[in-house]
Chain A
Amino acid sequence: MELALEIHGLRKSFGSTLAIEDLELAVPRGTTYGLIGPSGAGKTTAIRMIMSILFPDSGALRVLGRASALEAKDRIGYLPEERGVYRRMRVSDFLTYMGRLKGGARAAVITRAKRLLERLALADAWNKKCEDLSKGMLQRVQFVAAIINQPELLILDEPFGGLDPVSVRLLKELVSEEHARGATIIFSTHVMVHAEELCEQIVMINRGRKVLDEPMSGLRRQYDTRAIRFEPLDPAADLAALRTLPGVERLQVTPDGCEIRLTEGTDPAAALRAITATAAPARIEFARVRLEDVFIRIVAGGESSEESHQALRTHLQGLGTEVARA
């Protein structure tokens, strides 16, 4: 398997603050990786080190087979979180300049820039100055600058922040197209829905450490066996009776039925039988693990110890009861 990115033991500190600690990562070519984590977790620092904008204190990385991104900048597209433009520059000049810096031929850069702007409903912006565009329009222009050189590796740091739903949809389409073209995509986001929708693999960083590195398909297959979603056959059924069943810790009524939380140690199969015996089900299932739940458990759960990280990993591998402790 050819890797687009390899990171071994990457470490970076700013003064006494450890921003990234012993990061290990291997991103195969052609995959889409989501880098998630709370603000200040170290995502942007990690990305900046991948881009050779910041340099690690120790560790090694290889980007597109090279010892550093500096040797492969023409093959990488990057949309930073803190992005700007030359305000007084025309959009045409800005995109041409960025494309030329990336090693593109002038005519090819102009052709592609125009086509991409058209895709993003910005054809009229070609001759406008950047300062005359709205924030959302500028973000789309910056996105065009990131993919103008048809990169082999596309790194997007919070690409959808502040965009309206239509723009988000357009950008997602372009990201998918880049992926379909064969580009490897790494993007960081706070919005779990975006990560779930676009990524094949999820990497979570918390307090400078990697706490999760799992395929999205695996996450989707995982169930939380302490959470049961129940939809009764009879909408008028008395759901309060379910509260009295053994092992039920909590019951929350939802528009379609209810969500039942089991106490720790309860046999899930026995609980399913007891519920269906009490009220005929139209649908009954264990709740799927959502990325958002994982994120919240790690971040808001105050977990920082190796044990709790391991517990989460174990849970994601199928032992759902371990999650309950988190």
Chain B
Amino acid sequence: MSNRVLMVARRDFVATVSSKGFLVGLLVMPVMAVIFLLLIPRILSSTGPQIRGELAVIDPTGSVLPELRAALSPAALGAAAASNGPRAIPPGGPPMGAPMGPGPGMNPGLTPGHAPPVLTIIARPAGSDVQQEKSWLIQPPKQEPRHLALVVVQPHAVVRAPDQADFASYDLYVSRGLDDATETVIHDGLRRALIASRFKASGMDQSAVQATLRVARPNAMIVAPAGEQVARRGLSRALPFICGILLFIGVISGGQLLMTSTVEEKSSRVVEVLLAAVSPRELMAGKLLAQLGVGLLILSMYVGLGILALAQFSMLRLLDPMLVVYLVAFYAITYLVFGSLLLSIGAAVNQIQDAQSLMGPVMMLLVIPYVLTNFIGMAPNAPFSVALSFIPPANTFAMMARLASDTPPPAWQVLVTFAIGLAAAAGAVWFAAKIFKIGLLMHGKPPNFATLVRWARMA
């Protein structure tokens, strides 16, 4: 590699990474990630006023009401809140992709640190007129105590009707403005009360049945010649997608910066001054190299953050270091393919707005494989996944997703993907070099794809 290529690369790299825009852009993603992963669940779980008010219940069965009082007692609600807290991390770490904070189905009104609801139950006679009772829910604003809801337990909610397979349930009428969290608290209480009532009515031991139904799922152990290893089921579900994101972010960052800097050099007319000192090929090589470095810098920052996060949860041993090596190698290939295309667009147009129409198809070629990584990770050895591993420019994304899965592909497939990727990169660089040589000094009407192909033939 000529000294001039390295000088061009160095200048472009330094100019890019020292710009305010780059530094802000570099920090935005990690900051956003921290906000989404840490702050938002905390904000969601810690906000909102304490649920407080009255709940009218019409219980023709006579057995649900006592159970409901028990289920919605301050002690029971406090215990439910405690069980919604952060889970203890099991040996080997939590499954990847498990959300932080309240899990699915958890009530944000029942979380630790959040004042438990205070619900007063008002028993209404079993034969009350429901229509009349509903009017109880209509009350002037700010009147205390709040009339929250009217629950009408259906007659066969505890004991099934002779001709029915399922139990009946309950009807719920709520006041205007009752939020979803409060309604969920009421439903949870009624669910527990109805289950307890049904067990009592049937004469079964509830705790014994629940214990009978509970089967703990163990962490699978992979037995291999090298020894036993905990299967990273949760991690492997997320890892292909994470690898796809990393490839995408690295390529789009480096590629966009490459295109922008080329358009700037062309529009500021500095490019001809540069061409007096370096050949078009050297200039292009230097620019490609510079933004490859920028992309690698971005990639290493995200990979570094990921490794730190894994280390934080004592899960570092679950990450195969070779995966990082593959990521860097496939990133370089993917970058060369897409970076070359974006570079040729940058050389062909006069201003960044002109590039939009040409960028559309290139972006589609980049986004589709990235979206597919999630599905490829789920079925890494399906014929579609295997076939996609050999079709550029999707091949690097597909292979990366498969390598990150629990059932990585055989080595020969990795090598074939690598070879095909290198050939695709060489083709893209060759095409870009031709466009670059002609486009840099072309001004006027922005070209379309047909013009680019004509230029490539001319050069």
Contacts and interface: CB of A to CB of B under 8 A. Distances in A.
Given A48-B441, A53-B441, A97 B276 contact: no
B441 A85 contact: no
A51 B268 contact: no
Contact of B278 (A73, A76, A85, A88): A73
A54 B441 contact: yes
Interface string B256-282: 000000000100111111111111100
Interface stretch (A98-106, A192-200, A216-224, A308-316): A98-106
A78 B15 contact: no
B212 to A, nearest CB: 73
A97 B273 CA distance: 12
B272 A82 contact: yes
Contact of B276 (A51, A54, A55, A86): A51
B192 to A, nearest CB: 66
Contacts of B277: 73, 98, 101-102
Contact of B270 (A51, A73, A85): A85
B96 interface: no
Contacts of B272: 48, 53, 80, 82-84
Contacts of A89: 15
For the complex of A and B, the 4 pairs showing the least CB-CB separation, nearest first, are: A84-B269, A78-B276, A84-B270, A101-B277
Contacts of B280: 53
Interface residues of A, number: 28
B11 interface: yes
B4 interface: yes
Interface of A: 48, 51-55, 70, 73, 76-78, 80, 82-89, 97-98, 100-102, 142, 145-146
A48 B441 CA distance: 10
Interface of B: 4, 7-8, 11, 15, 265, 268-280, 437, 441
Contact of B279 (A52, A80, A82): A52
Contact of B273 (A52, A55, A83): A83
A293 B106 CA distance: 93
Contacts of A53: 272, 275-276, 280, 441
B226 to A, nearest CB: 52
A86 to B, nearest CB: 6
A76 B276 CA distance: 8
B4 A101 contact: yes
Contacts of B273: 78, 80, 83-85, 98, 142, 145
Contact of B271 (A70, A84, A88, A100): A84
A142 B272 CA distance: 12
30 contacts: A48-B272, A51-B275, A52-B279, A53-B276, A55-B437, A73-B278, A76-B276, A78-B273, A78-B276, A80-B269, A80-B276, A82-B269, A83-B269, A83-B270, A83-B272, A84-B270, A84-B272, A84-B273, A85-B270, A85-B273, A86-B15, A86-B265, A86-B270, A87-B268, A97-B11, A100-B7, A101-B7, A101-B277, A142-B273, A146-B276
A97 B276 CA distance: 13
A43 B77 CA distance: 88
A85 B274 CA distance: 9
B16 to A, nearest CB: 12
A70 B279 contact: yes
Contacts of B268: 84-87
A88 B274 CA distance: 16
A155 B221 CA distance: 73
Contacts of B15: 86, 88-89
A97 B283 CA distance: 13
Contacts of A88: 15
Task: Name the residue among B270, B280, B437 with the largest chain A CB count within 10 angstroms.
Answer: B270
Nearest to B3: A103
Contacts of A82: 269, 272
Nearest to A53: B275
B19 to A, nearest CB: 8
A70 B265 CA distance: 21
Nearest to B266: A84
B276 A73 contact: yes
A110 to B, nearest CB: 15
Given A83-B270, A101-B4, 5 more contacts: A48-B441, A55-B437, A73-B277, A73-B279, A83-B272
Contact of A97 (B7, B271, B275, B279): B7
Nearest to B270: A84
Contacts of A85: 268, 270, 273
A87 B7 CA distance: 18
Nearest to A57: B458
A78 B11 CA distance: 21
B23 to A, nearest CB: 14
Nearest to A98: B277
Task: Name the residue among B275, B277, B280, B441 with the largest chain A CB count within 10 angstroms.
Answer: B277
A257 to B, nearest CB: 49
Nearest to B443: A82
A142 B274 CA distance: 11
A47 to B, nearest CB: 10
A158 B273 CA distance: 14
Contacts of B441: 48, 53-54
A100 B268 CA distance: 21
A159 to B, nearest CB: 13
Nearest to B286: A101
A88 B273 CA distance: 16
Nearest to A52: B279
B375 to A, nearest CB: 44
Nearest to A87: B268
Contacts of B437: 55
Contacts of B271: 84
A246 B220 CA distance: 119
Contacts of A48: 272, 441
Nearest to A100: B7
